[in-house]
Chain A
């Protein structure tokens, strides 16, 4: 292996309830106020739909759009924004060598078909045979392709021509940190020059509202910031897509690309979530980067989910670390596989703008350092498992 390479973020693409692109996100965050949630569609639960997206600008063929479900369209769109931002969209020579690691959920179901089968099957004597026949006649053949997690990456290859390689990681929030960690490690070690990394999620779906209502509290009115959701905690499912292009500094300089930020360190770990585990894993991760961080010009962009006790444990750890903290989930909701990448993108904007948005809730502490922000520590504490941490730095 060659010596360790500097890894730069050279493009970002972000879509959420706050809009698209870092500037729209930053403006909305700085404005503060009531987040743009929806408390009607899935009442009594609160969700965060994306703002309306004109998919045609990144997915020009209607046929391609039809072959995808919403989570894939959101992801392909955000990936296109990142490739465009990095200046490599439509650059076939670079895209041919561009690797890709996508964090993805999947399983978008045809809710109408499910509902009608469940309604009609009552009282039918041969239930399984009846359902077999209905599935054979009612399911759209291409729906399967909208359900497979790896078909987000597949659609990115098709629509944007990213064909160096394609890997899809699964497993809620942790998979986003795993994806970025592996992509970063591969570039740092010289196994890859450039990689598109990201995730997409559409939590504004009945089948996912059903899944989470089986096992974890979902947020109901009144809306509360992520830190203030009581001892049981609560999630607010969201739609979002977040991608970054990362590459070796040498690769970026050779093609004349400017860095958005340096991606200095990415960690992803797990523990069995006994009392205190999340706090101690985060503090262990912090210890490995502590000597790289200047407390006078660093902030934390927290990916706290609102689930408890993980969110309180994260607050405990961040209190001991002592940097100013802002949690974004209050404003954009829970985007699972996309969450960490969304926060990486927002962290890039924090070091670029040098300011912090207004605090919201008991865990948002401190103010932006008066001398500007040079470093952002981004956390990723999954609602159920996974503790991740990244350090991004301003490049002058």
Chain B
């Protein structure tokens, strides 16, 4: 690429964030979320969306303030993406409905849901055993047409691309719990290639259903601390017992620095570097030697052209599962060495829960807010430190601090690891 604008140490266009949006169980919008995050509030509650009898876990960070009665996962996730995307684009000052670049959407896998299966089964008129062939017979009735669009992967990104007016084929993606970070990475790379001047990246997830709770329960991944919802997500604590499913969305408007400056946009942060590394140890567990996550963080720092000494804060993946937090400690202690004792590391998931597909995007937004406000959100519920994980987790109360550069970690099922390095406005 040629050009005269601002380039990074590798000669690539500098990629900045000019708009951000966030929805979480804590509330809608940056202002509300930041206030609650820095107040150490929890968004975790007992599930009321559906009956929880027979479930092992009955708590979640469901977005009850966004959910509308009867919504299926694709509808709620789409609404979350729309809310966060609208907030980000409005802040960026880019015209509504005519976004000048591609769209990368981290979105949960969706499918036909039980409410729809009941309706099809009932319409099938089958008296004996109900087979899929019976459902198929009923399916061609016109009243079930909406189920089709609600259950196809390509539909929501298409609708959102129309809504935001993004350009080209919208890319919806999943890298499990790293998805939100991958969406941002794809946008950053497209701008670095000179393919576009701006990109919209959103991670959204509104997929809490009884069956999704069951699926994660069967993998023994969820906290069962049902008696104390707000205390259930306890990253890095000795008594952590699993993550808490949650919903939300994070959105960023990415632009080349030159494009942002040319249109007089306010620069909120810089995405300096991205790293990724796949793990082939196990389908749900990370390599016990931590090598993939160590490599991932090192790649991100190298991509940003910085060293561990340049990092002031780590926005942890910090799920509150026994295994993740131990492995993440191994990773950060290897990468940051002796310096780790001086680097605060906190988990937004202690308050928000684990928003799965959205988490990487939400945490990127919080990382940027941390730099903008020079204040670090805490890890709440940190009452019983785990002696095997000696970290400055910013326990229980937010802290003012000089934060110039953040690394935000995202690690997921299927060996997915993505790290982002975010810093303040370039000098």
- Please give the residue numbers on chain A whose beta carbons come within 8 Å of chain B beta carbons, in ascending order: 1, 67, 100, 105-107, 109, 111, 114-116, 118-119, 121-122, 126-133, 135-136, 139-145, 147-151, 153-155, 157-158, 161-172, 174-175, 177-178, 181-182, 185-186, 189, 191, 206-207, 209-216, 268-270, 272, 382, 384-386, 388
In the assembled complex, how far is the CB of residue A179 from the closest CB belonging to chain B, in whole angstroms? Answer: 9
Q: A164-B278, A269-B168 are in contact. Are A214 and B132 (CB under 8 A)?
A: no
A163–B415 CB distance below 8 A: yes
**Is residue B420 contacting chain A, with contact meaning CB distance below 8 A?**
no
Expressed in whole angstroms, the Cα–Cα distance for A170 and B128 within the complex equals: 37
B136–A210 CB distance below 8 A: yes
B139–A270 CB distance below 8 A: no
In the assembled complex, how far is the CB of residue B360 from the closest CB belonging to chain A, in whole angstroms? Answer: 13
A128–B53 CB distance below 8 A: yes
In the assembled complex, how far is the CB of residue A197 from the closest CB belonging to chain B, in whole angstroms? Answer: 14
A128–B210 CB distance below 8 A: yes
Expressed in whole angstroms, the Cα–Cα distance for A148 and B145 within the complex equals: 25
B153–A105 CB distance below 8 A: yes
A210–B135 CB distance below 8 A: yes
B169–A386 CB distance below 8 A: yes
**Is residue B218 contacting chain A, with contact meaning CB distance below 8 A?**
yes
B283–A213 CB distance below 8 A: no
B171–A1 CB distance below 8 A: no
- Please give the residue numbers on chain B whose beta carbons come within 8 Å of chain A beta carbons, in ascending order: 1, 11-12, 50-56, 107, 109-112, 114, 117-118, 120-121, 128-133, 135-136, 139-140, 144-145, 147-149, 151-155, 157-158, 161-162, 168-176, 182, 186, 189-190, 192-195, 210-211, 214-219, 276-284, 292, 412-416
A163–B280 CB distance below 8 A: yes
Contacts of A384 in B (CB 8 A): 152, 154-155
The 4 closest A-B CB pairs, nearest first, are A215-B148, A154-B414, A132-B54, A206-B132
Known: A129-B51, A216-B148. 16 other contacts (CB 8 A): A1-B192, A118-B118, A118-B121, A144-B218, A148-B109, A155-B283, A157-B278, A166-B175, A166-B416, A175-B154, A177-B169, A182-B171, A212-B148, A215-B145, A269-B169, A270-B169
7 residue pairs A–B, Cβ–Cβ below 8 Å? A1-B1, A119-B129, A121-B118, A129-B54, A181-B169, A185-B190, A207-B112
B168–A150 CB distance below 8 A: no
A174–B169 CB distance below 8 A: yes
Max chain B C-beta neighbours (<10 A), residue from A133, A170, A177: A170
A115–B173 CB distance below 8 A: no
A133–B415 CB distance below 8 A: no
In the assembled complex, how far is the CB of residue A307 from the closest CB belonging to chain B, in whole angstroms? Answer: 13
Q: Which of A1, A161, A164, A270 contacts B168 (CB 8 A)?
A: A270
In the assembled complex, how far is the CB of residue A334 from the closest CB belonging to chain B, in whole angstroms? Answer: 13
B173–A169 CB distance below 8 A: yes
Expressed in whole angstroms, the Cα–Cα distance for A119 and B154 within the complex equals: 31
Expressed in whole angstroms, the Cα–Cα distance for A372 and B333 within the complex equals: 60
Contacts of A382 in B (CB 8 A): 154
Q: A1-B193, A214-B139, A269-B168 are in contact. Are A154 and B413 (CB under 8 A)?
A: yes
Q: A207-B132, A211-B112 are in contact. Are A270 and B278 (CB under 8 A)?
A: no
Q: Which of A131, A182, A210, A215 contacts B186 (CB 8 A)?
A: A182
A213–B136 CB distance below 8 A: yes
In the assembled complex, how far is the CB of residue B218 from the closest CB belonging to chain A, in whole angstroms? Answer: 4
Q: Which of A131, A153, A177 contacts B210 (CB 8 A)?
A: A131
Contacts of B415 in A (CB 8 A): 154, 157-158, 163, 166
In the assembled complex, how far is the CB of residue A328 from the closest CB belonging to chain B, in whole angstroms? Answer: 21
A170–B172 CB distance below 8 A: yes
B214–A150 CB distance below 8 A: no
B55–A214 CB distance below 8 A: no
Expressed in whole angstroms, the Cα–Cα distance for A300 and B137 within the complex equals: 38
Expressed in whole angstroms, the Cα–Cα distance for A328 and B213 within the complex equals: 41
Q: A166-B414, A214-B139 are in contact. Are A158 and B280 (CB under 8 A)?
A: yes
Expressed in whole angstroms, the Cα–Cα distance for A104 and B171 within the complex equals: 12
In the assembled complex, how far is the CB of residue A91 from the closest CB belonging to chain B, in whole angstroms? Answer: 14
Q: Which of B109, B112, B155, B157 contacts A147 (CB 8 A)?
A: B109
Contacts of A143 in B (CB 8 A): 215
B279–A157 CB distance below 8 A: yes
Q: A126-B51, A139-B215, A166-B414 are in contact. Are A119 and B193 (CB under 8 A)?
A: no
Max chain B C-beta neighbours (<10 A), residue from A130, A154, A178: A154
In the assembled complex, how far is the CB of residue B417 from the closest CB belonging to chain A, in whole angstroms? Answer: 9
B153–A170 CB distance below 8 A: yes
Max chain B C-beta neighbours (<10 A), residue from A100, A111, A174: A174
Expressed in whole angstroms, the Cα–Cα distance for A150 and B153 within the complex equals: 13
- Smallest Cβ-Cβ distance to B127: which chain A residue: A122
Expressed in whole angstroms, the Cα–Cα distance for A182 and B222 within the complex equals: 35
A135–B210 CB distance below 8 A: yes
Expressed in whole angstroms, the Cα–Cα distance for A385 and B53 within the complex equals: 41
A106–B148 CB distance below 8 A: no
Q: A1-B192, A170-B172 are in contact. Are A148 and B413 (CB under 8 A)?
A: yes
Contacts of B155 in A (CB 8 A): 384
- Smallest Cβ-Cβ distance to B111: which chain A residue: A107
